[in-house]
Structure 1
Amino acid sequence: MRLATLRHHGRTHAARRDGDSYVLLPHTDVGTLLKDPDWRRLAERDTGARVPVSEVDYATLVPHPNKIICLGLNYASHIREMGRDTPEYPTLFAKYDGALVGARDDIVLPAVSERVDWEAELGFVVGRTARHVHRDEASHHVAGYTIVNDVTARDWQRRTREFLSGKTFESTTPVGPELVTADELDADDARPDLEIRCEVDGEVMQRSRTADLLFGVADILSYVSDIITLHPGDLIATGTPGGVGDGRDPQVYLKPGQVLRTVVEGLGELRNTCVAEPT
């Protein structure tokens, strides 16, 4: 199953992909749908107006998750380019929902930053409440997979030892276009092996495979569930591979007018234009 949150006639709707169109569902967004324990059956059963794929306006996939949890330093290639030691445990940080935008929305480059960078990531969304979940059971708590670009203001990230300030500027983090359930992918639920790629104005900056994650999906969900209860609709971004602008020589950062394209095999793509923040 493929689900999305669409803007339609001034409102948002959860929607189910059906060939070359989406069927609107009686829920305001995918996050609201997932709060029903019977969400899968409801999404398969419910029928509403149809919107052609060619005409859709994607909102961010889960507009108001209870938690947005992100991983840093989770690919060996990225660890090397950033000059960091391989972590023994997952490196976690958070975002707030004001950072989230849709799959085709503009990315707003913060006026106070001169070093805004890209980070293509596999994301997943929690589908069942999870607390102290063993990694062997973790896949049962994953609703599906999506694409995230953890756009980062590197100068603000490095103001302190904590990542948060560089990671959650408003309207910087595209998520979507769809939530794709595991049965749609020919991949291992615990550690999907999918190509991940990021392009800036058509130039490939990052290319890797999600099988190269240091901590896989099951590891992450199990670890986080030992810290805090995960709820349906929570969004987790699994980290980025090598090829970020900050790790290049010379360093390269995003500029207004550039188009950032983020692709994960089987999940679709994000395509976002960078714009300057109005001052």
Structure 2
Amino acid sequence: MTEGRAFVNNVVANTPPTATSPVRLGLLALGESGLLAREIQDTPHKVATMTARASEILGLLRAAREDGEVDGMTCSDGLIGLNIAFSIARAVGADAGPSRWVEYMSATCLHAGGAPYTVGPVLGRAVRAGFSPVLGDLARNLLREGDKFGDRALNQAEYDRFAFAKDLYDGLPLLIAAQRIARALVELDSCSKERPNWAKTYQVAEEKVVRFQDGVFWQWADLGNVRLRDEIDRIAAARRRGDEREVDKIKWSGEEEYRRPRSLRSALDGVRDVATEGRNERS
């Protein structure tokens, strides 16, 4: 672990900012070095080593995304490959697991370290090897995990525009990964009886990706709460007409589209002033 971390960090530290992403170069070199195979061979604690290695690389990817070095699609590359490696290793059992781990981790590092968004061959390899059921479960799990970030944003006790956007931002790579895995299954294993379920996962993940992206944008598109006040006025007008259906539509659409948390419902009813809603020192 120490050798691997030092190696990847050294690549990150010595890559000019205008060159290919240092994280990509680090993954590429890690895949070519044979370090992953040596780690598994040299330790009796194989599961712990696999878990630690995956956590380390994911941590590097997340940190790089925070610094603007990689985007959500690149993070999804890492999520796809690393989760495929770990899920397949766990599915085949303790004896064959380590070799599968090395196989898929090395492929992930090589592909994710190359040209943008090239982890697709790792998906294809897993499907051809008969691991479609494992990938289907993985896609659903990633979708659930990504959805939790949206729930956390919606459940804010007090509207914090920055934190709301950050939750959506952090959840996006998980949703993109779920979307890409499900789409690959639909396209590459079209005869499976599970295809309708995969298609549903793909559809839901795709919709969530769009809504999360729009939700992030919305936090800064309405900094002055002009649109929020407009919604309050529309709700008041609908109530005067006795149109409660329109009231509900306005209220719930903002939450379904990840534009505002549930805690703003009372503000929409005109119960409290919205002049400072969503504002904090960071925004």
Q: TM-score range by the shorter chain?
A: under 0.3
TM-score w.r.t. structure 2 length? 0.25
Which structure ranks higher in relative contact order (CA pairs < 8 Å, sequence separation ≥ 6)?
1
Higher helix share: 2
Which of the pair is proportionally richer in strand? Answer: 1
